[in-house]
Chain A
Amino acid sequence: MFLFIVRRIIQTIPVLLGVSLVVFLIMQMVPGDPATLLAGEGATKQTIEMIRHQLGLDRPVIIQYFDYVVHVLQGDFGESLRNNRPVLDEIMIRLPITIELALASIFITVVLGMLAGIISATKQYSAADITIMIVALLGISLPSFWFGLMLIYFFSVNLHIFPVAGWGTFKHMVLPALTLGAGGAAIVARMTRSSMLEVVRQDYMRTARAKGLKEHVIIYKHGLKNALIPVITVVGLQFGALLGGTVLTESVFAINGLGRLIVDAIRTRDLPMVQGGVLIASVIFVFMNLAVDILYRYFNKRVDLN
């Protein structure tokens, strides 16, 4: 297992290099120049040139990239072009928030989703099942920004239960986590249901019955643990999607997260910031995947470690 983890971590290096190269190339393609944006309106060509030089943007592209990679390998992510702050500092402000948000929504995703899925599966084709599945599907099909604003107006403006925006306390987390977790919960519910229905057909479930076990023991003890395996995968992917997909929710709830940082950086052509943000997001994603695989292996011992 240890070897497996180490190997996986080593394997991420080329992936991350690839990510940084893609970011770099894309940012070269994107029209718009950080210096012009920095200079503000009405700046003269000389001013813009001076800023370009200051930022080192007048060097050949290849050199810029190599320089970047060399620095990153030394743990130096550079400084924001926009506000000259170390990229890593800026990211570290957002990272905990993003992770908290992601965890809170994953919590909602898992708890709501699995509960609904199990109820649905054990009562297949009942009214409860159909209702849950329709609600779940609605959950998937609502655009998150819309859902978020609706939640704000209902729970914050009208009922004054939760604060509108910001981050920090438990109350702050509820609405964003709900907004972000709802779609995932719906997916998890459906996955749990179908996985559960699949497991119910397995031979070992028949063995359990042949032992004379009670039905709920069969479902929850023998079934659920096996049904979890595909659910874990989905939850993992969902978590990955959360890291990138939080931008809208972060905007709606004014959460100072990584997603917004990266989007803002793209908008201001703040290359080091985009690079750093995307790299860190990728690292998290990769580690998430790793965690999922480890969990997966924990639940599914049949998978060999290769």
Chain B
Amino acid sequence: GCTSDQTSSSATGTKAKAGGTLVVARLSDATTLDPHFITDIPSANVVYEKVYETLVEPDKNMEPKPLLATEWKQIDNVTWEFKLRKGVKFQDGSPFNADAVKTNFDRVLDPKTASPQAGKFEMIKEVKVVDDSTVQFILKYPYAPLLSILMSNEGDIISPKSIKENSDKIGRNPVGTGPYVFKSWKSGEEIKIEKNKDYWGNKPKIDGVVFKVVPEDATRLAMIETGEAHVTDQVPVTEIDRIEASDTMDLYRTDGLAVEYLSFNTKKKPFNDVRVRQAIAHAIEVDSIIKGVYNDVGTKANSTMSPKVFGYDPNIKGYNYDINESKKLLKEAGIKDGLSFTLTTSDRKERINMAEVIQSQLKGIGINVKIQVLEYGAYIDAIAKGQHQVSIGGWGNATGDGDYNQFNLFDSKSQGAAGNSSFYSNPEVDKLIESARQEADSEKRKELYAQAQEIENKDVPYVPIRNYEHLAVTGSSVKGLWLNPASYLMLDDVTVK
């Protein structure tokens, strides 16, 4: 259950020649560097807009910006045309052109490739080469958020030469057009990338980046303090006061795209009764969770969609903390002699803490909560199979588009593993999500999502708790680092003293 994957943003190189190597300490190693197989952030973070580039990249507000594509237009409902940047070469010397783009999308869509990301591009019928620097995407059906997918990590453009010559080795030898060249990977220990001297755009100011695996939180911070590492992007919220007080460390915070929530299994009694769900929503005092558990990192969520995501509706009220209302609802639902249930969570510290606080809050209205902490794999399994009663979860957003949120969390087709952990099913909502997908006019799309969120708010399959905020700590020698809302490290302007 953590959050999610990719978003975008791009690393357009800058001038200045400061040099030095940036050392990033992080929780886990990458699993593969082949974007068509990457499903986790630690992998994507190494290559996304660093070794590889996408056709379009997201800016700080997740708006698409040109990158490998200089301009684009929608020709009709199902046809998008992209003009490609000229004079760009892959790191292996092969030229970037329309063929390269086609080769990439053919690969990800080829069932033989068996890419786990194929589903995301399922709406693409074909990629057509118009001329050397023009491609057309022909869709099976109208799909408005196409750009948001193209600018996320799975839209990385891989060198067609490596696709043709050693398709199954890309995971270990990524070749793209980006500002950094893959150097080496010591499994489980570190990955090195180096400045691409022939980069078409602004070249990085640093010589390279080392991504080191350091599983222990306290150790990562200690490394920043001693200067052994420069950046870490997994920071325990409990340490922010100390970091802010420290003169060897700087804290970086940015709003994310993810939301954490409580998820009811609406297939199970008594959570199939909307009044019970509402009652619980009223009994949770979110503010104290955000302060007490999260140390004010992140903000109170009113919807399962974070404010940065396209389609977010600020008018949704959410549920206020109201014990009396809660009790009343429970009574109406016919629950007299108390309610007991198991709250399932993965083994992330903050989630466990949250569970404990919720447990103690619900005790106030006579609800007896048993906490079940499951190791991540088992947690995913339990949720996918719908074995839980109530769980704590979170949904990131790889693309920054509302569809990625709404479709996965609420659509009946997404029940279980695909994201709909509450097994929520409402034909009306399904229909709204479907229409929003196909609607080309963004204002109208927003309207459709607003309607959906309204219904979802009333049905409360999820109780939204917190909008994510990403933290990173840098040594004081590091300047110019930023994180995009999908939590990718953006290194365009980074310098290390």
Contacts and interface: CB of A to CB of B under 8 A. Distances in A.
A–B: direct contact at CB < 8 Å: yes
Interface of A: 30-33, 36-48, 50-51, 54, 82-85, 89-90, 93-94, 145, 149, 152-153, 156-157, 160, 163-167, 251-254, 256, 260-261, 264, 267-269
A157 B248 CA distance: 11
B114 A54 contact: yes
Given A36-B417, A256-B188, A163 B228 contact: yes
Given A93-B187, A165-B212, A254-B213, 20 more contacts: A32-B375, A32-B376, A36-B380, A36-B381, A36-B417, A37-B380, A40-B39, A41-B395, A42-B408, A47-B116, A90-B188, A149-B216, A156-B222, A157-B222, A163-B226, A164-B219, A166-B212, A251-B216, A252-B219, A254-B219
A152 B31 contact: no
Contacts of B4: 41-42
A176 B213 CA distance: 16
Contact of A261 (B5, B118, B188): B188
A79 to B, nearest CB: 11
B179 interface: no
B129 interface: no
Interface in B282-330: none
A83 B377 contact: no
A260 B416 contact: no
A220 B381 CA distance: 61
A182 B382 CA distance: 40
Q: With a 10 A CB-CB cut-off, give which of A82, A152, A153 has the most chain B CB atoms.
A: A152
A203 B378 CA distance: 60
B304 to A, nearest CB: 14
Contact of A48 (B5, B25, B111, B417): B417
Contacts of A163: 226, 228
B55 to A, nearest CB: 22
13 contacts: A31-B377, A31-B378, A31-B382, A39-B417, A42-B419, A45-B417, A51-B116, A149-B216, A153-B222, A166-B228, A254-B214, A260-B215, A267-B375
B236 to A, nearest CB: 13
B116 A39 contact: yes
B266 interface: no
Nearest to B384: A36
Give the 3 A-B residue pairs with the shortest CB-CB distance, closest first: A40-B39, A32-B377, A254-B214
B18 interface: no
A51 B114 contact: yes
A253 B228 contact: no
Contacts of A38: 39, 116
A48 to B, nearest CB: 6
B473 to A, nearest CB: 14
Interface string B211-231: 011111011001101101000
A164 B223 contact: yes
Nearest to A153: B222
Contacts of B398: 42
Contacts of B419: 41-42
B242 to A, nearest CB: 12
B189 interface: yes
Contact of B32 (A30, A33, A84): A84
A84 B116 contact: no
Nearest to B188: A256
Which of B116, B168, B186, B376 has the most chain A CB atoms closer than 10 A to its own CB?
B116
Nearest to B43: A83
Given A47-B118, A83-B32, A166-B228, A254 B216 contact: yes
B1 interface: yes
B119 interface: yes
B377 A37 contact: yes
A82 B43 CA distance: 12
A43 B418 contact: yes
B94 to A, nearest CB: 24
B184 to A, nearest CB: 12
A267 B417 CA distance: 18
B356 interface: no
B427 to A, nearest CB: 20
A156 B404 CA distance: 45
Nearest to B224: A164
A152 B377 CA distance: 31
